[in-house]
Amino acid sequence: MGLTENLSPTFLSTGNPFLDFFFHIVPDTSPDDLIQRPGLAWAHDPLTTLKLICNLRGALADFGYLKDLPEILYRLLEGSQVRKIAKQEWRNRKRGKRFSWKFKRESEGKSEISEKEEEGVVENLEQLGNLTDKEKARSLRKQREIAKAKRALDRYENDSDYRFLYDCISDAFADLLKWDVKFLASGELNRLSLASKWCPSIDSSYDKCVLLCEGIARRVFPRDCDPEYEILEEAQYDYRIRDRLRKQVLVPLHKALDLPEVYMSANEWNSLPYHRVASVAMNNYKDLFSKHDNERFEEYLEKVRSGQAKIAAGVLPPHEIIGSLKDERWRKSCRASLGANG
């Protein structure tokens, strides 16, 4: 017996090396376990073990999805435990506790921001004087954004391995987006990739940390593609091409892909094409669909149950399908869709 991450009792082994691999290889698995468990599974059946490795997106680039690429950069900058730290921060906020930077240092061995930066934030907080709490929060948020951007630039300039990875990822997104623009212009929508979906949104918290949109925009719209760019200062050039990337590339491609997020952000729930929503998005957003567009969403689920429409539930991993069983109408819809797909 042992303990789970939440300190609940659990068995350390199921007696099946494949089940042990599936349930115990998680983001915070120790290096020793990461080597031992696949080895035991491989000795039992190499093919099944290879499938499990591919399920982790750790073996071949064809497995996983494009969001993995900026996520790698994000974790290199913020630390491998950044998601765990964010989860703990969310739990503390939910419990009404004040988040401590000390937890970040203890969890990662270093804080998300350096101690010098932390001291600067605290000092600036004391200097904000009689500003309202909202104004103070806005000011501190801006300071942290600047600190993150500076850290990303310093890492790019001083770490050749990171710079090589950043450039390769920027190249990959830029190449896909340029091809997608050509496919869109020629009406070959079935050939569009999902690069525009997983390219970090400009000025999003993701982009502010990694600064990936600038790298992608520079490759899609290099200075020599427009005579006006050649006379612009760096800051003006960056602003122009990022804005152009958003308006001329990302927005049209998002519209062509019929991404649910486009309709959701525009508050156009009654126009959302449910038959185009991918399985994971459907599972994540189903409560929002019910809240904002209940009549149409219920009508769609009824069509799924009657076999007139489908949900791409086959892409969902087993634990998410099992987790959805608590929702009776979702359970019936997924069962009907899986049955229709064989």
Mean pLDDT per 10-residue segment, the chain (342 residues):
69 81 77 84 90 71 74 88 79 65 45 49 58 75 86 94 96 96 92 90 87 95 92 93 95 88 86 81 85 90 82 59 61 57 46
Whole-structure pTM value: 0.67
Please tell me the predicted confidence (pLDDT) of residue 33. 81
In a domain, 120, yes or no: no
Do 85 and 218 lie in one domain? The reply is: yes
Distance CA 216, CA 171 (A): 7
Please tell me the predicted confidence (pLDDT) of residue 332. 59
Do 199 and 140 lie in one domain? The reply is: yes
Distance CA 57, CA 44 (A): 21
Structure tokens at 210: 């990694």
3-state percent breakdown (helix, strand, coil) of the chain, nearest 5:
70, 0, 25
Select from 204, 230, 257 the last residue of a domain. Answer: 257
**CA nearest neighbour of 261 among 316, 194, 328, 208:** 194
Structure tokens at 74: 């994000």
Do 252 and 287 lie in one domain? The reply is: no
Coil/strand/helix, residue 10: strand
In a domain, 124, yes or no: no
Do 335 and 226 lie in one domain? The reply is: no
Distance CA 144, CA 155 (A): 16
Select from 199, 234, 257 the last residue of a domain. Answer: 257
Distance CA 181, CA 250 (A): 9
Instruction: List the domain range (segments joined by +) for residue 220.
Output: 66-89+131-257
Domain count for the chain? 2
Coil/strand/helix, residue 114: coil
In a domain, 116, yes or no: no
Please tell me the predicted confidence (pLDDT) of residue 310. 75
Select from 257, 288, 312 the last residue of a domain. Answer: 257
Please tell me the predicted confidence (pLDDT) of residue 334. 60
Do 241 and 276 lie in one domain? The reply is: no
Distance CA 201, CA 265 (A): 13
